[in-house]
Chain A
C-alpha cells in the first residue's frame, strides 16, 4: 500500500512538472513569428474539427496544409508547441485566445476572409423561414448589433443570459451548439452554455413562443445531431454547399471575419512560477465555479462506468449461460455478438447507436452510452468468463452430477465458483479499462469528465493544466475503483484460502 502511495505522489509530481513546462516560456514582449498572411504560404494550419475555414484560407494563402483539432484551445496549443504555424478561427475568438495566452501567441492584424454564420435545421423544417423573419427583424431594429457589442466586450460581468420566464405555448426547442467557440457559444458558470449564439437563439425562441433546451455537442457530430433529429436546430456555422445538402441554413446572423493566430518569438521568462500555477489553477477550477463542471463530469463518468459495468457483467454471464445451454444456434449467436463487438471500435458503436439505431428516439445520451459500454463489456467479460469456465476440468462436473446435483446446481455451486477465482483479476482490469474508455462519450453530447476538461480548455485556452488535471483525476478514480473492487471481490469470494487461487488440479 505504501508503495502505491509513493507511486501516486510520483505520478502527480511528474504530471504537474510537465504541466508547467510551458509556463517557463512565457515571453515578456510580443514578437510574432509572422507578420503578414503571405509569409504563411506553404505552412501548416490548425483548424477546429468540422471547420470549413480551410477553404477560405486556401483561396487567400498558397499551398497550406491542414490539421484538425477538437477545439481552438488545442489549435492554440499546437501553435505554441510548433506543431502548426497558424490557427484559424473567427476573429473575435482569436482575439480572446490571444488575450488568454499573452506572450506565447499573437494575432495577425489582417483578417483572412469575411464569413457569415447561420443557424441550421433539418431539411424542410418550418423553423427556417420563421427564424429568417425574426433574424431580419432583429437586424433591422439594431438588436443584433447590440448583442454583438455585449458578447465581444472585454467586460465579462455583463455577459449573462435572460431567464426563460416567458410562456411557451409551443413547447421546447432543442438547440445543439459546440460550446467551444467563445464568445459565440461556450460554457460559463456552473457548466451553463452561453454566448452570442445562445442568447440569439433564446430571443428567437421567445419570439416564437418556445422554451429552449441547449446541448453542447462536439463540432464534428453537430450536423449528425440535427440531421437525425436529436436537435431541432444547431448553430451557428458557415454555410457551404456540402453542409447545405444536409441541412437548411438560416440567413447569416452576424457578418464577421476569420483571422490567424501565430506563435510569438520566445523571450525571457517572466518568473513567478508559483504565481502561474495558482493562476492556472484558479482559471481551471475556481473561476465561474468550473470545479462543478468537473465534479458533474466525474459523476457522469462514474455513473456510466458503474452501470455499464454491472449490466455488462450480467450480459457476459448471460452469454456464458447461453453457451452452456449447448444449443447450437445460441452458441453461434453469442459468437456473432462477440465477434461483432470485438471488430468495431467502441466509439463507432456509440455513435451508431446514438445517431442511427436510436436516431429517431428521444433518448438521453447517458443511456445510449451505458448501453454501448454494457454491450462492449458484456462481450469481453463474457469471453473471459467463458474461457475460465471452460478451463475447469470436466471431471469436476461429473463429480457433481454423480453426487446427485442437477446441471444448474453443478454450474452455480461447483464450476462457476472455481472459474470465478480465475477470471476475477482479469475482469477487474477490464473494468478499469472500461472506465477509461468512457472518455469518448462526449461524441454523443454527454458531458463526462473528459468533455468537462475540453469545455474548460476552450475557455481558458490553456491546454496543459486542464489535461493534466483530468489525467490525475482519472488516475485517482481508477486507483480507487480498483481497490474498491478488490475489496468487494474478496467479500464475495467465499473461499477463505487465497493460496489456492488459480491452483489447478493437474491430475
Chain B
C-alpha cells in the first residue's frame, strides 16, 4: 500500500485556484522532489498533505488514514509527518536543545532524559552538537534550518515534508542544508521536497514531480525528467533553469542587478568557481569595455544587448550568445567590433574564451 495517495486534489481561494486536479501516489522510502515554476501550487500541495491547508475537494490518504475525514485526529497524523519550512521558525523562547526536546516530551511522552539523548543524537546527525545550549538567534540561517530538520526528526516521523527548505538561505548556506537532506534520503525516510535546487532534484531524489499551473504535469525518475522530458512545459522549464538571459536597453543599464542575477545563476547551477569567474569576466568585458563604449562612440543611447548563457552537462563549460541581429536593429554598426590583438580587452577575453564563432545572427563564445 502506498504511504501517501492523493486523488483529485483541488484547492481554491477566492479568485485563484492553486491546485486544479492533482493525483499522485508515494511509496514508502521514496524521495520525491517537486519542481516547477514559482507560484504554481507546489507549496499549497505539500501543505495540503498535512492539512495546514484544507483542500476544497479531493482525497488525501496518508498511511491508510483519510486526512480530510471530519473525525480525523489531525495532531496525531501530523506527528507522523515532520515538516520543514522555508523560514525555519525555531521557537525563539527555547534553546536549541529545548526546541528538540519540547515536542517529544509533550506529545510522545518521552522522559526528559530520553528526549535529551535523542536530541543530542539528532544534533550530531545535522552537525550541530556543539550548539545544543545556544539560542536560535545566535545561529546562522543554515544552522537554524538544520536544527529545524532535527526538530522535525525528533518526532520520529514516517514522512518528512520540505517546503522550499533552502529558498530563504544565503547561497553559501544552501549546500550545508542540502547535504543534510541528502544524508536523510539515504536513511530510507520517505520525503517530499519542494525545491528549486535542480542538482539536488537530479542527484538525491528517486522521483521528480514537475508541477505547473496547479497540476502535476509529469513525474518520473530524475533521468527521465531532466534528460528526456515528455511534455513541452517540462522541457521549457528544464531548459530555462539551465539558461540565463539578460537584456540591456540603455547605456545606463543596471550593472548591479545584472551581476547579482548572474551570480545567483552560477550558484544555482553549482558552477565551479573558476568557470563562474570566467563567465562573469567575459560578460563584464564585453559589456562595459566593448559594446557600451562602442554605442556611446556611435551616439546611440539605447543599444539592445541580449545575452544568453547556458551551462553544459557537468558544469564544465558554458556557452555565451550575444544577439547580433538585435544589436544591428538598434542601430549599432558592428563591423567596427574587430580590434587589434594588442587591445587589452581582447587579451582578457582571449584568456577566458576558448572558442569564438560568429554568424550574422549570433556571436557564440565558448567559455571554459
Contact = CB atoms under 8 A, between A and B. Distances in A.
Interface of B: 50, 52, 75-76, 78-79, 81-83, 85, 87-95, 102-103, 106-107, 135-137, 141, 148, 151-152, 155, 161, 168
Contacts of B81: 402
Contacts of A406: 75
Contacts of A398: 52, 85, 89
B84 to A, nearest CB: 9
Contacts of B89: 393, 395-396, 398-399, 505
A398 B87 CA distance: 11
Interface in A457-507: 495, 497, 499-500, 503-505, 507
A417 B91 CA distance: 10
Nearest to B47: A398
B76 A403 contact: no
Contact of A404 (B79, B87, B141, B168): B79
Contacts of A505: 87, 89-90, 92, 136-137
Nearest to A496: B95
Interface in A86-115: none
B103 A404 contact: yes
Contacts of B95: 497
Nearest to A399: B89
Nearest to A420: B93
Nearest to A421: B93
Contact of A500 (B52, B106, B135, B151): B135
Interface residues of A, number: 26
A418 B91 contact: yes
B85 A503 contact: no
A243 interface: no
A401 interface: yes
A497 B52 contact: no
Contacts of B136: 500, 505
A402 B93 contact: no
Contacts of A393: 87, 89
Contacts of B137: 500, 503, 505
A418 B107 contact: no
Contacts of A403: 78-79, 82, 103, 107, 151-152, 155
Contacts of A495: 93-94
A399 B144 CA distance: 13
Contact of B107 (A395, A405, A414, A503): A405
B76 to A, nearest CB: 7
Interface string A364-405: 000000000000000000000000000001011011111111
Contact of A507 (B87, B93, B102): B87
A413 B78 contact: no
B209 to A, nearest CB: 21
Given A399-B148, A402-B85, 13 more contacts: A396-B91, A396-B92, A398-B52, A398-B89, A399-B89, A403-B103, A403-B155, A495-B93, A499-B135, A503-B137, A505-B87, A505-B90, A505-B92
A409 interface: yes
Interface string A441-460: 00000000000000000000
A499 to B, nearest CB: 7
B136 to A, nearest CB: 7
Contacts of B92: 396, 418, 500, 503-505
Contacts of B79: 403-404
Nearest to A495: B93
Report which residue of B91, B107, B141, B168 has the largest number of chain A beta carbons within 10 angstroms of its beta carbon.
B91
B87 A401 contact: no
Nearest to A502: B92
A393 B90 CA distance: 11
Report which residue of B82, B87, B106, B161 has the largest number of chain A beta carbons within 10 angstroms of its beta carbon.
B87
Contacts of A395: 85, 87, 89
Contact of A413 (B85, B87, B106, B141): B106
A395 B85 CA distance: 8
19 contacts: A395-B85, A396-B89, A399-B83, A400-B91, A401-B52, A401-B75, A401-B78, A402-B52, A403-B79, A404-B75, A404-B79, A404-B155, A413-B102, A417-B93, A418-B92, A418-B93, A497-B95, A500-B135, A500-B136
A497 B95 CA distance: 8
Contacts of A497: 95, 135
Contacts of B161: 402
Contacts of B152: 402-403
Nearest to A506: B137
A504 B89 CA distance: 11
Contacts of B135: 497, 499-500
A393 B168 CA distance: 15
Given A497-B135, A500-B137, A507-B141, A404 B107 contact: yes
Interface in A21-37: none
Contacts of B107: 403-405
Contacts of A418: 91-93
